[in-house]
Structure 1
Amino acid sequence: MKLFFLILLSLTTSSTADPKYAKPGCNYMCGEVKIPYPFGIGANCSINKWYNVDCNSSTPYLSALNSLEVLDINLDYQSVSVNVSMFSDCRNPVRNSSQISNINLDGTPFLFSKLDNKFVVEGCGNAVILDHGRVVTACSTICHNDSVSEIISSSCLGINCCQATIPYNLKSYSMNLTSLERQLGGDGVCGSALLVKENSHVRSVAGNISYVPISLLWTLTERDQFNCCSSRFRVDLDLGNGNSLASYKCRSYEGHLKGNPYIVDGCELLLDTQECQWCRYHGGDCHYEDVYHEDGNMIISKLNMTCHYYPLYNHYEGKISLGVILGVSISMGVLFLVAISYVLYKVIKKTKAKRRRKRFFKRNGGLLLKQQEEADPYLFDKTILFTSRELEKATDYFNENRILGRGGQGTVYKGMLIDGRIVAVKKSKVVDERQLEQFINEVVILSQVNHRNVVKLLGCCLETEVPLLVSEFIPNGTLYDRIHNVTDEFPMSLNMRLQIATEVAGAVSYLHSETSIPIYHRDIKTTNILLDDKHKAKVSDFGTSRFVSLDQTHLTILVKGTFGYLDPEYFQSSQFTEKSDVYSFGVVLVELLTGEMPISLTRFGENRSLATHFMLAMEEGRVMSIIDAMVIKEGTRDEILIIANLAMRCLNLNGKSRPTMKEVVAELENIRVSHVPSMVQTNFQQIMQKEELHIITYGESTSTLISVEDNFSK
């Protein structure tokens, strides 16, 4: 019975009429080759002149492409295979030569197919394909003294022969050949390099013209008038360098469509295939769905038929089938396993995250922090350990838009805590053990400090890959930006400069003499001085700071600092004292007084350093020429000279001759008290013409200032 049914199906399916491939009145066969529309035999049978085919002696030729012989036309892949002539002279070796392809497709709707063609090289040497002078692909071979038959039968894997793909569809190409030759039984040498359709290469060439097949893509644009018997869609063909060519294609269901989809009535869709009829015979239902897959640059679609059964009840006995029971049971089991797997996954993920946080805590100095806490339990009373989740939410997962600044030790982000407080989160760089010690050192020092002009530490986080510091947010940026990015809208008055200098000096004096253990800052500079909303100064960045025991006068440590602010005496001796901070403050004071950069390439020689430039100006009695115009406008000559002399004392090359920070604070307070802001001052030109300034002599002579780059080490 089943055999009879299959025979009946085959008879019914084979009895259908022949499908249409060409336009009405046109022939679609030339010899053994089928010529479907949009190609056509004759001018009126094709879509345009490029697709005209001449049928001569039962052989089709593309008349518009130098009458190339047509071997095959594929509607699904939109390709046409043609024969291309290949010339090889076996009497002369090909050495360092260049060839241009004998087909130029520029201006035509055809392309060399990336999918179907291979670049094949025979002989020994090197060959490359060039697209307008740019190398597209290359092939290199080596040769053995084999016979011709051995060469032909060997695999094309680099010995006597190699092959390569092209990365995109070409319009034209040229080839460069280098010593391309092949031994032919010792009688001579010859070689060849060409683009050829895959698995069709003619290997033996006997010194005359031979033909090799090549695959071309054919394209249709919106201007081409054609109608599809199914739907039409767009295909973008890769032309290299990010360029593509839009082509339009009629939808064809490979294996389920007879005829030509480019003709309105040319489709014959075989929905009721033998498989579908067999499915229905057994009580099933045929379901068809589109299946698309991209092969190279052409999109092929198929109809995928599946047979669905709905046996809620046995067809013959009316009872619930065993298959339904098994299916429900298996489905329930699968759902249970999926649920258990999901729960286990979440538990394992949570456990791994917890272990990772513990590992980061240890690596980021958590043990060192605990040791410091055990040594002084009162040290961390007000310091909070934040979780990584808190700080990720606060900084929008460390969004680039939240960055306040970048420094040598890390990046600072602006964040908002759950309670609404605005904070600054300092994310250290990937650190080694020495940098971790600096980080923990900053936490310990800032936990000790409680001063209105020092940035307040709120807490830290050690659970992340790199450690994080959380401190109060200071909104008005750095003193450096305020001095050197001057705006007419908010100029820095002399009174504001004196206030900032006094506040910074007071903070450093507090660190030196008023904390339980003296602290040397070691990196005082205008970029480490922040300004709040009322332009109050806040000293920050204690990464290189150090505690000093009460009986110590100096620290002998590796030289670190910032070019332009570094104490020359410290650089020469590696001994850092509290007077080294005084020197750095002196540079900040001169920066406030002159408005000039600490290091400037516009100044020459020794004058590149602001400290040296200032001291030379003082010695030569021309200091008023480098003072900021706003300072001269608002201050008297005597006030300016008093401030300048204080800066000179701070910059003394002999550290013992410098004042203490406590003395600096007292003098600045006196200057502020005596200063009365006024807009009516002595004319600047008159000041410049007055007698030379009286300079206080300071022990050693002021030679060229010695300074080093940031984080300079011996």
Structure 2
Amino acid sequence: MSLISLFLLPWLLPSSSSTFIDPGALDPYCHDVPYPFGIIRNNTTHSEFYPSFELHCDYNGGSNSSLKVKIGGYSIDVIDISLEGGYLRVLVVRAKGFGTCRGESGRGAVGVTGTEGVEGVDGGLLDLTGTPYAFHSRNNFMVLGCDTMALVRNSSDHIVSGCVSFCVSNADKLYGKQDCSGVGCCRTAFPPGLQYATVDLQSIRNLTESTELRTRAECNEAFLIDGNDSSYADPSIKRPIVLDWSIGNKSCKDVTPSPICGPNASCYNSSEGLGYRCKCNDGYEGNPYRNDGCQEIDQCKYHEHNCSWKCENKDGRYHCACPPGTKGDGKKDGVGCTRDTYIEIGLGTGLALLVISLTIGFWFFWELKKRKQRKLKLKHFLQNGGSLLRQCVSENQFFARIFTIEELEQATDNFNEKNVVGRGGYGTVYRGTLLPDGEVVAIKKSKFVDETQIEQFINEVVILSKITHRNVVKLLGCCLETQVPLLVYEFISNGTLSQHLHEQKRPTSGRLSWETRLRIATETARALAFLHCKAASVPIVHRDVKSANILLDENCTAKVSDFGASRLIPTNQTHVTTLVQGTIGYLDPEYFQTCQLTEKSDVYSFGVVLLELLTSEKPVLFCRMGTERNLASHFMEHMVEKAGHVGVLEFLDRQLVWEARTALPVLAVAQLARRCLSLNGEDRPTMTEVAIELSALRRISMQREELRDWRISMSPRRLGAVAESTCNEEDPLLS
């Protein structure tokens, strides 16, 4: 195996013009060399040069002068310097020292012969480490010989190039020197940017024992050559290779603001590796590395022109201009410059045509867009059950309004975030103002819709449109022209019961009194009882009863809302089996375990709402420990542990007991909540029974208040007696 080292590194460089140098035609001082390169002859500097770019003039008199560059201690002939391409072409001899002779083990000696090549450099495979040079991508890697696999490895010992050459007879090797196609010779691309590499020659098959090649001891050759050169067949001539050069080893960004580029020149990164080069800006020419190198190209001054009025030089080119108000090519041998009397008419006509074209185009585009929107809205309308809803309207079964998406976008300022009044698990609620009457509404935009349940959804919407109850939020209409349906309800302005109970920053009201809480509970129970029994003759289970879904108007009148999770219970069934939905803390345990939804599931959730009214506590608090986190579970355990009324009062909001003036109605509501929270649904009362019991408690409470007010309004001479009687009437549990 023959192992050869060669090095290369990427250095980037800019543009100028290519300067070809014929070594035999150089004058004694070899002065035709462009900066940043410079000449040193007999240790004397004849022109300035950039560090590492010095060249040597080998002057032997007559026509034997040659320009050389020293690399790795060897002097190499330079035949071409290109500022624009950023390369040097140099001459090297054949690479005999890389061969492996037939009859050997298949691998040749490592190193150079020291007698052939360029000043001891065998085949021009140079060590470029520490120089501004690297092998150019234009080079080809070639192998002449038979039964040879040549691999090129970089400094990390990774294979970066290689080729295979084989023969069957000696004639194949001779043929390979004429047409390098893999038989007797192979040729492949050489990677750019390398400064060091090794070449490994190996035998790919043993032909020494069976062919006429066995007696021949010819050596295989591996070398680089300029890819544009075809003189590789003759091993006695020098071969050209191309070296890339660049300034430094940093990019333009790293050397900014002080690259060596002159005025009117710009820096650009080398495409072959690290480093940079310079090039003249557009409209300039010359050497971009000198202070006065890039000069403006004045076409009007240095080139012939035939302008009749004025020659203008722009970006290295010229054109003939005409005086204002005239037209033509401005040339003496052309049309010249003539007065254009119709220029205003032409401009006006052109402008008018442009406006008309733009108007027609805009109208056409707008019509296409509206047509596309109409198709999309119709598609959504049909997907969301629009056909079924139209049928219900025609049969006078739908008592609400079908809104268009334009009406709702106008009402909500295109669903602006500032109009969001609530977000829940099923959608977002916006506040909107319908035009032209200015009615304020709440618009619920669902997050998703189950396409398999569209028929049931439309049926529920139709039934909800028939519900008329003072404690149920009225459904005003719907819109089916969007991807998900939009439902329009009456707007309730005073927030939710949850906000009043658990948020301390309600701007519209203070703490809810016992009388108000009892009234809210009664009104909510009546609404749920109405839904279970009388709502359009089909029972409706709300399935998400919670304080956040009980709205309060300006008079704190309760309004049950958010029927997104509601389900209809057929009159001939006691339950429906469905996926569990609801809110943690309010969810019926029996429904959670069996997936069977009944009216008693709403009763359980309402029992949790009663606890919120009695305790002013949230249904779930993670700051509490164990079962105390769940308000309902904690309450039921407390009711078992504290069988007496006094023990139960410790669990309730003490302020409510004082407001009620007697503990009896508060305890009665607590006992009702306990029954509603029974784990067995059959042990819970119906919503109708709950509503009746709460109504009776509220009526008794109101009668006691009226009796008390009547006693207080008696004559002054009996006020003392009334006061004493009232004190005697207070519940002993308060003492």
What TM-score bracket applies, with the shorter chain setting the length?
Answer: 0.5 to 0.7
Cα gap change, 1:533 to 1:143, in 2 (>3 Å): farther
Structure 1 residue 585, shift from structure 2 partner: 0.7
What is the TM-score normalised by the length of structure 1? Answer: 0.57
Task: Quote how far apart the aligned CAs of 1:645 are.
Answer: 0.5
- How far does residue 448 in structure 1 lie from its aligned partner after superposition? 1.8
Q: For the residues of structure 1 that align with 2:456 and 2:154, how far apart are their CA atoms?
A: 57
Change (3 A) 1:263 1:487: same
Alpha-carbon displacement from aligned partner over 1:394-444 (angstroms, at most 9, x marks no partner): 444444555444434333334444455554332223433235345434532
Q: Distance in 1 between matches of 2:593 and 2:138?
A: 72
Q: How many angstroms does 1:284 deviate by?
A: 9.3
Alignment of 1:629-708 (within 5 A): 631-636=653-658, 637-672=663-698, 674=701
Gap change, CA 1:632 and 1:31, over 3 Å in 2: farther
- AA aligned opposite 2:204: G
Distance, in Å, in 1 between the alignment partners of 2:338 and 2:444 is 74
Q: Report the counterpart of residue 356 of structure 1 in structure 2.
A: 376
Alpha carbons of structure 1 residues 338 and 570: separation in structure 2 relative to 1, 3 Å: closer
Mapped partners of 1:45, 1:470: distance in 2: 86
With over 3 angstroms needed to count, the CA separation of the structure-2 counterparts of 1:653 and 1:269, relative to structure 1, is same
Rounded Cα–Cα distance in structure 2 between residues aligned with 1:124 and 1:504: 91
1:555 aligns with 2:575: yes
After superposition, what is the alpha-carbon deviation per residue over 1:490-512, rounded to whole angstroms, capped at 9, x for unaligned? 87445254343333223212323
Compared CA separation, residues 35 and 548, structure 1 to 2 (3 A): same
Report 1:272-283 matches (<5 A).
Answer: 272=299, 280-281=306-307
- The count of corresponding residues between Structure 1 and Structure 2 is 559
2: CA distance, partners of 1:117 / 1:403: 67
Is 2:530 aligned against 1:504?
no
**Partner deviation per Cα, 1:548-602 (whole Å, 9 max, x = no partner):** 56x5462333243324433344456655443332122112222333413348585
Task: Say whether 1:253 aligns with 2:281.
Answer: yes
Say if 1:599 and 1:609, in contact at 8 Å, map to a contact too.
yes
- What is the alpha-carbon distance in structure 1 between the residues aligned to residue 191 and residue 500 of structure 2? 62
- Secondary structure at the aligned position of 2:544 is classed as coil
Change (3 A) 1:74 1:368: farther
Distance 1:612 1:185 in 2: 84
Distance 1:142 1:62 in 2: 25
2:611 paired with 1:590 = yes
User: What is the alpha-carbon root mean square deviation over aligned residues?
Assistant: 6.6
AA of the residue aligned to 2:286 = G
Q: Which residue of 1 aligns with 2:710?
A: none
2:199 corresponds to 1:185: no
Summarize deviations over 1:300-346 as a string: whole Å, max 9, x none: xxx68777786469949989999999999999989877665554333
Structure 1 counterpart SS, 2:653: helix
Checking the alignment, whether the CA contact within 8 Å between 2:443 and 2:486 is kept in structure 1 is yes
Shift of 1:270: 1.4
Q: Contact between 2:161 and 2:190, CA under 8 Å: does it hold in 1?
A: no
Q: Comparing 472-481 with 314-323, which one deviates more in the overlay? A: 314-323
Deviation at 1:253, TM superposition (A): 3.1
| 8 A contact 1:53–1:62 mirrored in 2 | no
| Inter-partner Cα distance in structure 2 for 1:117 and 1:416 | 74
Q: Is the 8 A contact 2:479 2:487 kept in 1?
A: yes
In structure 1, the residue matched to 2:551 is 530
The separation in 1 between residues aligned to 2:129 and 2:498, in whole angstroms, is 65
Give the 3 Å change call, closer, same or farther, for CA 635–671 of structure 1 in structure 2. farther
CA distance in 2, matches of 1:199, 1:640: 102
Deviation at 1:653, TM superposition (A): 3.5
User: Which residue is 2:480 aligned to?
Assistant: 462
1:28-73 per-position Cα deviation (integer Å, ceiling 9, x unaligned)? x998863359x9999x979xx9x7754566667999xxxxx9x978
User: Any conservation in 2 of the 1:478–1:527 contact (CA below 8 Å)?
Assistant: yes
Match of 2:21 in 1: none
In 2, Cα distance between equivalents of 1:536 and 1:515: 20
Letter in 1 for 2:681: G
1:434 counterpart (420, 444, 452): 452
Q: Where does 1:12-91 land on structure 2 (aligned, <5 Å)?
A: 34-36=34-36, 53-55=53-55
Alignment partners' CA distance in 2, 1:124 and 1:535: 93
Shift of the alpha carbon at 1:271?
A: 3.6
Q: Which amino acid aligns with 2:693?
A: E
TM-superposed deviation, 1:288: 3.7
Residue 577 of structure 2 corresponds to residue 543 of structure 1: no
Instruction: Give the structure 2 partner of residue 446 of structure 1.
Output: 464
From 427, 432, 439, give the equivalent of 1:410. 427
Give the C-alpha shift of residue 647 in structure 1. 0.3
Deviations 1:468-508 (A, max 9, x none): 22234445554445545556998744525434333322321
Distance in 2 (CA, whole Å) between partners of 1:226 and 1:408 is: 66
**Shift in CA distance, 413/330, structure 1 to aligned 2, threshold 3 Å:** closer
User: Partner of 2:465: helix, strand, or coil?
Assistant: helix
Q: Which amino acid aligns with 1:390?
A: E
1:579 touches 1:655 (CA, 8 Å); kept in 2?
yes
How far apart are the structure 2 equivalents of 1:258 and 1:566? 84
Is 2:31–2:39's contact at 8 Å kept on the other side of the alignment?
A: no
Deviations 1:653-677 (A, max 9, x none): 3434433323323433454563899
Provide closer, same or farther for how the CA distance between residues 318 and 616 of structure 1 changes in structure 2, counting only shifts above 3 A: closer
Q: 1:345 aligns with which of 350, 365, 385?
A: 365
Unpaired stretches in structure 2, ≥5 consecutive residues: 1-16, 18-28, 58-66, 73-77, 91-97, 101-105, 108-126, 142-148, 168-172, 207-225, 229-240, 706-726
**CA pair 558-186 structure 1, distance change in 2 beyond 3 A:** same
Query: Contact 2:551–2:558 at 8 Å: present in 1 too?
Result: yes
2:295 aligned counterpart, secondary structure: strand
Residue 643 (structure 1) shift: 2.1
* Structure 1 runs not aligned, ≥5 long: 1-17, 19-28, 64-68, 93-101, 131-137, 155-159, 188-197, 201-209, 238-246, 290-302, 691-714
* 1:499-535 residue CA offsets vs partner (Å, 9 max, x unmatched): 4333322321232345342432222123323344555
Q: In 2, are the aligned partners of 1:259 and 1:266 still within 8 Å (CA)?
A: yes
When residues 335 and 607 of structure 1 are mapped into structure 2, their CA distance, relative to the original with a 3 A threshold, is: closer
How far apart are 1:621 and its partner, in Å?
A: 1.1
| Letter in structure 1 aligned against 2:691 | V
Cα 1:328–1:421 change in 2 (3 A) is: closer
Report percent identity of matched pairs.
34
> 2:636 is paired with a residue of what secondary structure?
helix
SS at match of 2:535: coil
2:284 alignment partner AA:
L
Report the CA distance between 1:367 and its aligned residue. 0.9
Corresponding position of 2:119: none
Q: Which amino acid aligns with 2:673?
A: A
1:97-136 aligned at under 5 Å gives the runs: none
Report the residue type matching 1:456 in the other structure. K
- Residues 553 and 346 of structure 1, relative CA distance in 2, 3 Å threshold: closer
1:363-386 CA distances to partner (integer Å, 9 max, x unpaired)? 121112113323434623xx241x
* CA shift for structure 1 position 467: 1.9
**Larger-gyration structure (1/2):** 2
SS of residue paired to 2:565? coil
